[in-house]
Amino acid sequence: MLLTLVRHAKSSWSDLSLNDFDRPLNERGKRDAPKMAQWFFENIYETPVLFTSPANRALATAKYFEKEFSPIELNIVDNLYHANLQDYESLILENNHLKHIVIFGHNPTISYVAEEMLKLKSIYLKTCSICQIDLIDPDVLSGELNFIKSPKEVI
């Protein structure tokens, strides 16, 4: 099973009246997300099922990927906003019958999930970074790193 983790694209802090959940992508995020989605589409071999946090910035990022793969299934998972490792593990185990899943989420948890799955320390996913893990045994939730790509490496 392939697991791809995507941290949401860069978000805007320009409107301080918005709560964290509602923050949109900023201009850099709107520029990076479609380019990363296109790169991802051109460089993978297994069409994924997408799962995203409902927060505006994560959902907006996921929609760029959805558009690239259209038609594709995009699932909004409420507990991916403020998720912990166990939330990710549950989602992965519930869907381990799929060949490839992509999860759009938030730091620090999404970086921590990558560290735990890869048994590595010091993984920090920058905004709109993509981390793909080949889960050797999805029931054990550990795997091998296929790649980590950030917008600066792709664009």
Express each pLDDT in 52-101 by its tens digit. Answer: 999 999 999 999 999 999 889 899 999 999 999 999 999 999 999 999 99
pLDDT-above-70 percentage for the chain: 100
Domain boundaries, the chain: 2-10+23-130
Mean pLDDT of the chain: 95
pTM here?
0.96
Query: Rounded to whole angstroms, how far apart are CA atoms 43 and 146?
Result: 12
Nearest to 53 by CA among 10, 110, 95: 110
**Alpha-carbon separation of residue 154 from 97, 113, 131 (angstroms):** 30, 23, 13
Do residues 134 and 143 make contact, with C-beta atoms less than 8 angstroms apart?
yes
The yes/no answer on whether domain 2-10+23-130 falls in CATH 3.40.50.1240 is yes
Express each pLDDT in 136-154 by its tens digit. Answer: 887 788 999 999 999 999 9
